[in-house]
Each structure stands twice: as structure tokens, then as C-alpha cells.
Structure 1
């Protein structure tokens, strides 16, 4: 486990993009588990810029979306695959045949999830995954629970998570969907290069809880990353503001 403290969100995004590009350049056909949400938008902007500058070639890269809202079609502007096209896929030279995402409108979502998990296995597993931390400690849509599921699955979203995401659905009469599809904790823990990005003062208590408590708790899913063999936290100074200097030095 490693903590890298950056000045601000802009620097977090640049550092994260540079790490992704380094991995892609070393392994052009790497498997990238794409995150949605506000946290990675800056990173995607930097990745597009680096591609336009000729610093990286995405033509062989393979991708799997990390999660998706159940019931949303790909063309729905609230769907995560729409987000990926808007911020990344449509601006680089990735082969769309190598882009995979959950079929959120499948008749049998459980069967779809099982196949999606198998597709990740058949691809050789994930080389890169990036996540933020939800206000309740969730990663992807692995919500706090008495147990966590290992592979891609359907999840009923906590009200706290729906509230956290409601600003993205302010133009939608039905509001945030009640259910989502999420990659599971086994898939996250087996990812070869795992990154957590956090920015802003509101993330500081979440990181303090994670690093000052040795417990692995399914009610705080991000705590499972304490057991990950290769995880880096790319955070800004505000997010790091409640961490003791001893902790920052230990994980430097």
C-alpha cells in the first residue's frame, strides 16, 4: 500500500493519468476497469490530452466498465457507458470491439453478471482499476453489508448512495435507480494495479477511518483494500488533512 499526496485535484488527475499511460505503454493490450463519476473526469481529460500529444496508443487496450445503473440503456445520458464515451472512448483510438460493459437491460441480470465476470476471467483478469470512495465507504457499488460478494452482481443501492448521486439525475423524473450492477470484491482484489483517487476536505474523514483502523469490515468496503497486494492512494492535500504524519511517512 502506498499514499501519494498531490497539491490539488488537477495534480491528482495528472499523476493518475501518467500512471495509466505508463502501464499501457508497458502492456498495450492491458485490461482497464473504467470508473465513472466525478473523481476520474480530470484523469480522462489528461489521458485524452496525452493521446493527442502522441504519448500513448490505446488501440490494443481492452476495457470493462466497473459498474452501471440497472435498467439504463447505453444511449441514456445517465448511464456510465454514455459517460465513458463522452469523456474518454470517443476521443482516443481504442477499438470499440475491445470495450465491454454490463448489459443493464438484460432480461436476466444475474445471468448477465455471471457472464460478465467470466469475460473478465477469460480476458486474463484486470490490469488496472481505479475507484473513489463513497461517503459510506463503498467502492464501485459494493455497498456496506454484513458480507460482500466476490464477482459481478446486482446490488440494491443504499439511500445514502442514491442521495450522493442524485445531482446527476436532477433532470430525470424517476430519480436515481434503485438497483445497479457492480464488479465484485474478488475482481477488485485480484486487479494487478489498483488505484484510489480522493480529492477534497469531505474525503478526509473517510481516509482517516481507513488508515487509523486496522479492522477489515464489510460495513466499510474500502477497508478490504488494506489486504490488496498493490494499491496506491492518489489524494490531494485536503483529503490527506486528517492523516497523521506518521501514517503518511509509513505509506510513502
Structure 2
């Protein structure tokens, strides 16, 4: 997969799947524009791959739109930023519910709007990958707001595919199982909880960030030219177990 000459926006590029994706893209020739909240993460990423960095709190709608416009023009977009808060359904706060939807669902919409508007106005094709989660398909205890936000992102991906496909922009999603990122360590640090999840994954392990990044890159390439509107599980067989 060669991305020489391609400019790619990656949100959530500071850590986890987003960082693995940014690094993999850069190593395969892409010019990466990295959006994330932490300036320190951006500093270390810049030192590693020489990316263009934009620090932004994606929970802030206006700041997100401004950052997306600053990142343009770009050929490809990966919406990878995400957050979670662990709360039982009966304890979910409105504040955390709104936060998760702002970062996990609304921010991808805003960034994709600005990306797609620029591509359509310039008459050029493009591709978008939204990073969702297997939590969009199943109910996971203590993840009510997270599951809802990722299911919303999958719905958004399908509508984007319907409307942007005729304009030459392919849109797909990926739905990872538990991936060993800092956020996952926070959510799955209880050994009993982790063991119960692992027993449902036929391949017998959680994913590594590079496992997901490889699939994201494939979906961005012309090799996936007829893959459109898909929410692709990358889950070691979790959803068939």
C-alpha cells in the first residue's frame, strides 16, 4: 500500500489506533495531518514522523470545525478520535453521555463535512474511514454511552456512504474488538472482566493497534475501490462467537 503524494488527516493521532495509523501512513509515503487534544502527544508524533500537527479538543464543535478547515486540503480522512467513561446504565450522567457523543459521533461528522465539501468543490475523489467499535453491535456492561455513541457513528457512516458515494467519496467504518490502547487498558484492567471477553474471541487475544491500522489503510486504497458503506468488524471472530 503506497501513499506517496497523499495528504491524510488522522484524528485522535496522539495515541492508540490513531497513532499507529498515522505512523503506518507516514512510513508508506503519506503526508499526515494529525489532530488530537494533547500537544505533548503531537510533539512526540512530529519527532517520529514529521507530521503537521493541530491540537484541538474535539468535544468543542466550533474548534473542531476550525481545525478541520485548517487541515485542508487533504486526499483522505481517518476519523479515529474516541473517548469513553465507564458507568453502569443506571448511573450514566448526562454530562458523560453528551461528552462521548460529542467526541465519538459529532466530531467525525464535522471533520467529514469539511473534508467532503472541499473534495466536492474541487471535483476530486476521496475516501473516509470512521473508526467505530464492536460495541456498536453488542451491549457491553458499563459502556452504555460508549455503545450508543459508536452505534450512532455507524449510522452516520451509512448515510455518508449513500450521499457521498455518488460524489466520488468512498466511506467505510471499522469496528475493532478490544484493542490494546491506553483507553482499553483503562476499560479492561479488571482481569475477570478481560478474561470473560477473551473467551468470546476465537483467535484468543485482544487486537494490537497495528492490526486495526492495516485494515484502515486497505480501506483507504484503490484496492478497496468497491468497498463502500461497510462497518467492518476487526475482532478476531468476536461477533460470531
- The two structures have a TM-score, normalised by structure 2, of 0.42
Higher relative contact order (CA 8 A, sep 6+): 1
- The two structures have a TM-score, normalised by structure 1, of 0.41
